[in-house]
Structure 1
Amino acid sequence: MAAPEPTLPLELGSLELTRRLVDIESVSGGETAIADAVEAALRPLAHLEVIRDGDAVVARTRLARERRVVIAGHLDTVPVNGNLPSRLEGDTLWGRGTVDMKGGCAVMLALAASITEPVVDVTWVFYDHEEVESSLNGLGRLARNRPELLAADFAILGEPSNGEVEGGCNGTLRADITARGRRAHSARAWMGENAIHALAPVLTRLAAHQPESIEVDGLVYREGLNAVGISGGVAGNVIPDEAVVHINYRFAPSRDAAEAEAVVRGLFPDFQVDIVDLAEGARPGLDAPLARAFVAAVGGEARPKYGWTDVARFSALGIPAVNYGPGDPSLAHADDERVPVEQIERCERGLRAWLTAS
């Protein structure tokens, strides 16, 4: 007998909705079941127009307000590792996706259902494939194929931020730095050139590098430049003729892609540098009137987002955007992923106050 289709009764509230979302396994590439459940929950709501695009679900009000806001969250997670189903222990909910970012998606669902007359028009976006390569990202797909669905004056991404506003995000660059040598038998090493040894200056420069802290529109972004992998070697008795250090540069949103690339190439002018991934960051966007009103409504002080998030996609569309969601970002993808119930409830209260101006 087939298992029943998962359901998301929207009247249950954001905590129970978080549990139900978490218990629908949705590792990237397997989001159809959770997208079906989200669509089935939202489609009966008369105040929302619901649109399905692949495994992304868009629901929007059509109230002819002067301003429109996009509130977005991704439905996929990294692979499960013994952390499903969810469990509630005291005031903490445990399980894959509780932090990244089904708590934020649950808040979105609860508010989409219960706020029928927001003070701004709202487009709720639940999308797929965020945790994998950028070319598959559901929000990116919408931006390319259905940009009208993302048109807005301001955007909020429900990424984990400890229930505080985090403006913009750093950019990210990944590069391979290659050293070449000449193969030889390791018993006659003097007849070859060891490519792994030739990488020593690269590691020395990386270890000595002092990351900058750069103020952008009132927020200070800390950069980072690190080796994240190294590869090389042919066999246990062969001097290697090629070795590669894989690096990751997290750069402040004041730099564009060309400037970030120039920083990396300038540090390693005597090596082959191949850029393998590059995504610009997003400026905080906190000078926009809607952003100022949002920060005032939810309380607290805005902070910078050091990691890259999809706010950068909104920034590329000319839409100021911030991160605001329950969960500690340092627990995202961790096997002990967990979220305080208080943060889920606080984010729901904050967004509700802003969307209703109450």
Structure 2
Amino acid sequence: MHSKVAALDLGQDAVTLTAHLVDVPSESRQEKALADLVEQALRGVPHLRVDRDGDAVVARTALGRAERVVLAGHLDTVPVADNLPSRLDEDGLLWGCGTSDMKAGVAVQLKLAAGLAEPNRDVTYVFYDAEEIASEFNGLKRLAERHPDWLAGDFAVLMEPTGGRVDGGCQGTLRVEVRTTGRRAHSARSWLGENAIHKAAPILDRLAAYEPRRVEIDGLVYPEGLNAVLINGGHATNVIPDFCTVTVNYRFSPDQSERQALDRVRDLFDGFDVLVTDSAPGALPGLSHPAAAAFVAAIGTAPAAKEAWTDVARFAALGIPAVNYGPGDPTLAHTREEHVVAASILEAETRLRTWLTA
């Protein structure tokens, strides 16, 4: 493995470069080794200015073009699931943790950064940490707070896996704990207690009966989801539990603010104690913006709604219209079977290169 962390060769084709990136483990909060390699490789490119904050690396051209675009991608992955090292099979599939989400996109960024000395727009390439965990750790969030000038631009492309299409906007996400309490007792004398887990049954009933909205915005349909994702309660197998917590995740359409989403959840669980543990806004598609429309036309595929939360929301908060676009199937993200079609990596590189040079 030690030989795998040798310097990145940005002259390699994007598929080989993706495999190299995948073979450098970079679970969230453990991205330093990969960030070091990215920084080292980009500092060797004469037409780029390179800055670093923590394990985030930002490289920029400064050609005085009329428009600046931002290409952003995260370096971290979810925990490895016995799916390293990478493997390229005879069918042209590259397997391994992070292949789809999103080291294929990062490889494309690196190829463009190294190869485009005279793009038709100034370009900022952002490689950041801790996207896959709680938003408080997110490297793009940190950059927006500490160095908003590093992220300045007229348009942004987040290189999340989209299957090679343009995905507009993103869902918002809200996590709450819905709590019940009871009275602890010996299970042999359960009538002396009050079972908090039993009290959680109406919470699950309301979730099962809930009909998620499907919201159309600018021709794109955003399906919502409201689900229990964790449940915790009890002390021991011979004790009537006096507490139970159901963690609920609401993926809401970007037509709602965080406040409106929370109000909807609190209305649903009226009568229960609801505690917010994490929240992030969605982002409207913004495809009518001239830069976004030009990008969609250049990519040449029909846009769709992003059925997830992504950091396009952070760019939207900065007043920068943004879309998701990248190689890889988003439905394979975080799975043991994660892989990417090698040809899709090369196709994404070609389309972006054409957009930045035509």
**TM-score normalised to the size of structure 2?**
0.97
Equivalent positions of 1:3-42 (< 5 A) are 5-42=5-42
Equivalent positions of 1:47-58 (< 5 A) are 47-58=47-58
* Cα distance in 1, alignment partners of residues 140 and 4 from structure 2: 29
Match for residue 148 of structure 1?
A: 149
1:283 aligns with 2:245: no
* Cα distance in 2, alignment partners of residues 185 and 274 from structure 1: 29
Deviation at 1:238, TM superposition (A): 2.0
Deviation at 1:51, TM superposition (A): 1.1
**Structure 1 residue ranges without an equivalent (≥5):** none
1:164 aligns with 2:165: yes
Judged with a 3 Å threshold, the aligned counterparts in structure 2 of structure 1 residues 3 and 16 are, in CA distance, closer, same or farther, namely: closer
Deviation at 1:234, TM superposition (A): 2.1
Deviation at 1:4, TM superposition (A): 7.7
Match for residue 85 of structure 2?
A: 85
**Structure 2 residue ranges without an equivalent (≥5):** none
Match for residue 119 of structure 1?
A: 120
Match for residue 255 of structure 1?
A: 256
Aligned-CA RMSD value: 1.3
Whether the 8 Å CA contact 2:4–2:23 is kept in 1: the answer is no
* Cα distance in 2, alignment partners of residues 345 and 79 from structure 1: 26
Match for residue 300 of structure 1?
A: 301
2:11 aligns to what SS in structure 1? helix
Give the residue type in structure 2 aligned to 1:69: V
Equivalent positions of 1:50-69 (< 5 A) are 50-69=50-69
Give the residue type in structure 2 aligned to 1:233: G
Match for residue 46 of structure 1?
A: 46
* CA deviations over 1:120-140 (Å, ceiling 9, x no partner): 110001111112221111111
Instruction: State the identity %.
Output: 59
Moved more, 317-326 or 2-11: 2-11
Give the residue type in structure 1 aligned to 2:273: Q
Equivalent positions of 1:209-358 (< 5 A) are 209-357=210-358
Judged with a 3 Å threshold, the aligned counterparts in structure 2 of structure 1 residues 5 and 15 are, in CA distance, closer, same or farther, namely: closer
Whether the 8 Å CA contact 2:169–2:305 is kept in 1: the answer is yes
Deviation at 1:3, TM superposition (A): 5.3
Whether the 8 Å CA contact 2:10–2:110 is kept in 1: the answer is yes
Whether the 8 Å CA contact 2:102–2:161 is kept in 1: the answer is yes
1:247 aligns to what SS in structure 2? strand
* Cα distance in 2, alignment partners of residues 217 and 354 from structure 1: 24
Deviation at 1:33, TM superposition (A): 1.6
* Cα distance in 1, alignment partners of residues 245 and 83 from structure 2: 35
Give the residue type in structure 2 aligned to 1:50: V
* Cα distance in 1, alignment partners of residues 318 and 152 from structure 2: 8
2:294 aligns to what SS in structure 1? helix
* Cα distance in 2, alignment partners of residues 296 and 113 from structure 1: 25
Deviation at 1:221, TM superposition (A): 0.3
Equivalent positions of 1:196-215 (< 5 A) are 196-215=197-216
Deviation at 1:217, TM superposition (A): 2.4
* Cα distance in 1, alignment partners of residues 185 and 76 from structure 2: 48
Give the residue type in structure 1 aligned to 2:286: G
* Cα distance in 1, alignment partners of residues 225 and 207 from structure 2: 10
* Cα distance in 2, alignment partners of residues 125 and 354 from structure 1: 18
Q: Following superposition, which runs of at least 4 residues in structure 1 exceed 6 angstroms of deviation?
A: none
* Cα distance in 2, alignment partners of residues 262 and 78 from structure 1: 31
* Cα distance in 2, alignment partners of residues 185 and 56 from structure 1: 53
Give the residue type in structure 2 aligned to 1:111: L
Give the residue type in structure 2 aligned to 1:275: V
Give the residue type in structure 1 aligned to 2:26: S
Match for residue 178 of structure 1?
A: 179
